[in-house]
């Protein structure tokens, strides 16, 4: 946590209301996202118990496994869930455009967006994908073709969810906590109901009161995938017993509907709240990347529809980690560039500063080291109240002039910082109008680089050195994987 966020927490506690930590929405929000609230059976890694799923808040699809220990019923659940989710994904997978670039590439026109309540929902979905993607459609334990297809898509989406800035598969508590700071601790923020209670308490109550009320599991059941132990004991166990005795799933359905409905409603309230925020400038570019990733997965499935393997090869794993790290850095920088509140956090830490321009030498020309001709190198002096921790020589960037990528700090003296502009001033003798900040203008500079992030040099997969196991063998489906028990 940073001091900025810690202050906001104290302020939220003091006011009894969450404090916005963003002025814009940093995630893409679809017109009709697919909300997915899964439940699993306690004590099991990936035994589904039920789910509420759908794109229409008024008409969720309720799926239940009336006897979660029954393997057949689990696959029936997977089949029913696939019947909802697959058509939703395939709607987007089919429509692509070719993007003109040095190497033209395919991109889907739009992409699916699946929202789950919390990160555990993502982790559970990943396991659900893992437990279904290897299944075969013929031979022993055959399943309908939709089951492994669904498993592969879930695996793909759960993998994308790890990329900062991707919006195809989001955990709602993470998204909300990225836009508001509450007056409770991070532990409590993991609960969707308590988080929303602070962000939008019912009229007349404070965040404190609303959050306290939301902690009663009989009124607000946990958002899953784990259920409340008391619910398991008092409601679910007898309902499952009733199913075992009568063969009728009615009681289990009723129990799970009541357990899921409050979270379903909260998910859509959260969607409404997020819709109230204007979209950040960088969102559409990041969504384009999601659309490209989707097209790539479609192409992969078209060429070789075998499921993703169980393990990454060392080089693939290293590449993946590097890609995740870059995604994280670029996303954080982009957030700050798109949102003065996000930038404020960096200003507090001294990694950014804002202030009024108090002196400009716009016509300054120097002969750069190693050069022959004098070129424009204007100096801009900014007075700031921020505690600048950037040393002379640091390359800095400004949200207001994003094409300038070479400005650098020349000196820091007291509360003034002098910057030299090195590029982005046009071809003329004089800097192009507007390319150099003018006297009195309020500017902001930082060493965060939203355009940064180069892939570190890693060998191509086919060049994996023998010390790292040599080039990875592609995954070959096995009977064992296909028939793996799911007990």
Partner 1 sequence: MSRLDALRGPTPPLDHNARSIAALAANPACDRRAVLDAVGVDKNLMAVHLGYSAQFGQSPFAVVRTRQFEEIVRAGGGAGLLPLLREALGLSIDTARWESADESADEGGGESAEEGAGEAHAVRHTRTEALVARAAGDPGTAVVLDRLLLRLDVAGHEVHLEPGVLVFQAGERFHVVTIKPFAVVDGQAETGRVSAAAREAAVYVHAMRALLVRMGLAPDRVSHDVVLVCPENFSNVPTASLLDVRRELSVLAWQLARLTRIDRILDGLPSGLSLDLRIEAGVPTRPAADLDEAVSGIAARYAPECLSACEMAYFCRAEARSGGALDALGRAVRDDLGGVETVGAAIGLATGTRTATAGEQGVAERLRHIRKIYQETVAQETVA
Residues that bind partner 1 (CB under 8 A): 1-11, 13-14, 20, 23, 41-46, 68, 123, 127, 130-131, 183-188, 208, 215-217, 227, 229-230, 232-233, 237, 310-311, 340-341, 344, 347-348, 354, 385-387, 484-487
The nearest distance, CB 6 to partner 1, in angstroms, is: 4
Query: In angstroms, rounded to a whole number, what is the distance separating the alpha carbons of residues 307 and 72?
Result: 22
Helix (H, G, I), strand (E, B) or coil at 427: coil
Nearer to partner 1, 314 or 424 (CB): 314
Nearer to partner 1, 181 or 267 (CB): 181
Confirm if 63 and 49 have CB atoms less than 8 A apart.
Answer: no
The nearest distance, CB 168 to partner 1, in angstroms, is: 23
Q: Distance of CA 63 to CAs 52, 53, 54, 235, Å?
A: 6, 8, 11, 17
User: What are φ and ψ of residue 189, in 5° steps?
Assistant: -65, -15
Nearest CA-CA partner of 242 in 230, 254, 231, 228: 254
CB neighbours (10 Å) of residue 463?
Answer: 10
Query: In angstroms, rounded to a whole number, what is the distance separating the alpha carbons of residues 122 and 36?
Result: 10
The nearest distance, CB 175 to partner 1, in angstroms, is: 19
**Residue 225, preceding peptide bond in cis (omega within 30° of 0):** yes
Give every strand in the sheet of 169-171, ordered side by side: 61-64, 48-54, 34-40, 114-116, 169-171
Which pair of tokens denotes residue 262?
């409050």
Nearer to partner 1, 104 or 140 (CB): 140
DSSP classification of residue 313: -
Query: In angstroms, rounded to a whole number, what is the distance separating the alpha carbons of residues 78 and 144?
Result: 10
Nearer to partner 1, 119 or 453 (CB): 119
The nearest distance, CB 306 to partner 1, in angstroms, is: 16
Query: In angstroms, rounded to a whole number, what is the distance separating the alpha carbons of residues 435 and 403?
Result: 10
Query: In angstroms, rounded to a whole number, what is the distance separating the alpha carbons of residues 63 and 74?
Result: 11
Nearer to partner 1, 33 or 190 (CB): 190
DSSP classification of residue 437: P
Nearer to partner 1, 253 or 408 (CB): 253
Nearer to partner 1, 334 or 344 (CB): 344
The nearest distance, CB 96 to partner 1, in angstroms, is: 32
Q: In residues, how long is the chain?
A: 487
Nearer to partner 1, 303 or 480 (CB): 480
CB neighbours (10 Å) of residue 414?
Answer: 6
The nearest distance, CB 127 to partner 1, in angstroms, is: 6
The nearest distance, CB 7 to partner 1, in angstroms, is: 5
Nearer to partner 1, 244 or 311 (CB): 311
The nearest distance, CB 20 to partner 1, in angstroms, is: 7
The nearest distance, CB 215 to partner 1, in angstroms, is: 8
User: What are φ and ψ of residue 114, in 5° steps?
Assistant: -110, 130
CB neighbours (10 Å) of residue 167?
Answer: 24
* Tokens 């990733």 -> residue: 293
Which pair of tokens denotes residue 164?
């900062």
Nearer to partner 1, 9 or 377 (CB): 9
DSSP classification of residue 367: -
Nearer to partner 1, 310 or 429 (CB): 310
Nearer to partner 1, 297 or 386 (CB): 386
The nearest distance, CB 130 to partner 1, in angstroms, is: 6
Confirm if 22 and 245 have CB atoms less than 8 A apart.
Answer: no
Nearer to partner 1, 385 or 426 (CB): 385
Query: In angstroms, rounded to a whole number, what is the distance separating the alpha carbons of residues 196 and 216?
Result: 15
Which pair of tokens denotes residue 194?
């308590």
The nearest distance, CB 343 to partner 1, in angstroms, is: 8
Which pair of tokens denotes residue 478?
């096995």
The nearest distance, CB 389 to partner 1, in angstroms, is: 13
Helix (H, G, I), strand (E, B) or coil at 52: strand
Confirm if 486 and 127 have CB atoms less than 8 A apart.
Answer: no
The nearest distance, CB 142 to partner 1, in angstroms, is: 18
């Amino acid at each position: 946590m940073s001091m900025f966020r810690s202050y906001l927490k104290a302020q939220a506690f003091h006011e009894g209301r969450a404090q916005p930590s963003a002025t814009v929405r940093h995630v893409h929000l679809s017109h009709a996202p697919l909300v997915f609230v899964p439940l699993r059976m306690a004590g099991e890694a990936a035994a589904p118990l039920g789910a509420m799923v759908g794109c229409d808040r008024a008409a969720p699809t309720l799926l239940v496994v009336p006897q979660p220990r029954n393997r057949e019923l689990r696959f029936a659940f997977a089949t029913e869930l696939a019947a909802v989710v697959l058509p939703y994904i395939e709607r987007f997978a089919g429509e692509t455009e070719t993007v003109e670039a040095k190497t033209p590439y395919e991109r889907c026109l739009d992409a699916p967006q699946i929202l789950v309540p919390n990160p555990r929902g993502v982790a559970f979905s990943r396991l659900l994908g893992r437990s279904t993607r290897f299944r075969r459609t013929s031979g022993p334990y055959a399943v309908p073709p939709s089951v492994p297809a669904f498993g592969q898509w879930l695996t793909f989406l759960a993998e994308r969810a790890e990329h900062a800035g991707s919006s195809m598969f989001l955990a709602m508590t993470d998204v909300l906590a990225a836009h508001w700071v509450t007056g409770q601790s991070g532990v409590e923020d993991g609960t969707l109901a308590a988080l929303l209670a602070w962000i939008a308490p019912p009229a007349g109550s404070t965040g404190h009161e609303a959050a306290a009320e939301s902690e009663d599991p009989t009124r607000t059941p946990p958002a899953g995938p784990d259920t409340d132990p008391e619910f398991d004991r008092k409601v679910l166990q007898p309902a499952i017993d009733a199913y075992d005795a009568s063969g009728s799933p009615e009681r289990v359905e009723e129990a799970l509907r009541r357990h899921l409905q409050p979270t379903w409603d909260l998910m859509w309230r959260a969607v409404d709240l997020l819709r109230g925020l204007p979209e950040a400038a960088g969102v559409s570019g990041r969504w384009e990347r999601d659309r490209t990733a989707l097209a790539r997965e479609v192409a992969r499935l078209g060429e070789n529809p075998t499921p993703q393997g169980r393990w990454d090869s060392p080089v693939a794993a290293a590449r993946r980690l590097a890609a995740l790290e870059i995604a994280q850095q670029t996303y954080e920088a982009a957030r700050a560039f798109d949102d003065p509140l996000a930038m404020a956090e960096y200003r507090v830490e001294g990694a950014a500063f804002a202030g009024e321009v108090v002196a400009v030498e716009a016509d300054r020309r120097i002969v750069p080291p190693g050069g022959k001709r004098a070129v424009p190198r204007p100096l801009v002096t900014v007075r700031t109240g921020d505690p600048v921790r950037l040393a002379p020589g640091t390359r800095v960037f400004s949200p207001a002039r994003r094409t300038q990528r070479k400005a650098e700090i020349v000196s820091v003296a007291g509360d003034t910082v002098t910057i030299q502009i090195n590029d982005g001033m046009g071809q003329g003798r004089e800097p192009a109008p507007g390319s150099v900040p003018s006297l009195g203008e309020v500017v902001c500079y930082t060493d965060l680089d939203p355009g940064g992030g180069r892939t570190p040099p890693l060998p191509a997969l086919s060049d994996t050195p023998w010390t790292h196991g040599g080039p990875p063998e592609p995954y070959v489906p096995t009977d064992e994987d296909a028939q793996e028990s799911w007990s």
